[in-house]
């Protein structure tokens, strides 16, 4: 069989907008996409963090721009995607990564917590997707949403978080079916626990002096005995947004260290 004309999973000539790209998983996705030739727009409510990541990418020879954006505000989102269009002239990929976590049951979750998670994790995906779709129609582009293992199974004390990630999964399937005729693919990734700065901050705040023991406990929840890495998430997102996944849409792809088969 002849070798492919170009290496797989390349994004040369494509423009990708990634929300929550200033840290953690979003930062890893931005870095991976840039390595594969994409022009990257880094959307984040923390403009300074996004600017630092963008500057580091530019220093490697990549094309990247930070775009401050609060995904819960329609005006911010519209302005951000107008900036992407003005700066780069197109959009080929949207990664809805921005999200926040919460620990609590139905009884212990406060109304303010519930509303805050809905605003970022659900409304944010809606607003960004709606703003991006006119641009993606022109390029027959791809969307990848960050859902969670909590979209697929019950996870203790993640009531509000699970609600939002279940919504991300069903929004993914809805967009996939509604925009098939426009050549737009939409998938989501469902990670188990990923070692990000959020995890370290959560352990410091809630388990001072016991961070190592709790980290090991959280790691052992995955049958592989460890948390995933942001880079592993980025690699799966890259595949789903690449031409190699051209026949994949409407799917929720686990990245769970064996949790679903345990």
* Catalytic annotation, residues: 161
Q: Where are the alpha helices (DSSP H) in 36-178?
A: 47-59, 74-88, 111-117, 124-139, 159-178
Identify whether the C-beta of residue 234 lies closer than 8 Å to the C-beta of residue 29. Answer: yes
Length of the chain measured in residues: 262
Q: Which residues pair with 68 in a beta bridge?
A: 44
Residue 215: which residues within 8 A CB-CB, separation 6 or more?
199, 203
Tokens 């388990």 sit on residue: 207
Identify whether the C-beta of residue 98 lies closer than 8 Å to the C-beta of residue 71. Answer: yes
The closest alpha carbon to 72, from 28, 111, 20, belongs to: 20
């Amino acid at each position: 069989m002849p070798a492919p004309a170009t290496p797989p999973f390349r994004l040369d000539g494509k423009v990708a907008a990634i929300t929550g790209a200033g840290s953690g998983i979003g930062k890893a996705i931005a870095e991976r996409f840039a390595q594969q030739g994409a022009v990257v727009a880094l959307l984040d409510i923390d403009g300074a963090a996004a600017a630092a990541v963008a500057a580091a990418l530019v220093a490697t020879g990549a094309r990247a721009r930070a775009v401050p954006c609060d995904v819960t505000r329609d005006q911010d989102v519209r302005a951000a995607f107008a900036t992407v269009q003005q700066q780069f002239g197109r959009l080929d990929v949207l990664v809805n990564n921005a999200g926040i976590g919460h620990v609590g049951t139905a009884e212990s979750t406060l109304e303010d917590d519930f509303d805050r998670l809905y605003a970022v994790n659900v409304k944010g995906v809606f607003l960004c997707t709606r703003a991006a779709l006119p641009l993606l129609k022109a390029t027959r582009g791809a969307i990848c949403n960050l859902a969670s293992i909590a979209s697929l199974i019950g996870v203790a004390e993640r009531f509000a978080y699970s609600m939002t990630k279940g919504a991300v999964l069903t929004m993914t399937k809805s967009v996939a079916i509604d925009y098939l005729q426009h050549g737009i693919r939409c998938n989501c990734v469902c990670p188990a626990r990923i070692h990000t700065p959020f995890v370290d901050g959560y352990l410091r705040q809630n388990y001072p002096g016991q961070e190592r023991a709790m980290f090991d406990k959280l790691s052992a929840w995955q049958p592989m005995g460890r948390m995933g890495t942001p880079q592993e998430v980025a690699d799966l997102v890259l595949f789903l947004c690449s031409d190699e996944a051209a026949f994949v849409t409407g799917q929720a792809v686990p990245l769970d260290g064996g949790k679903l088969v345990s």
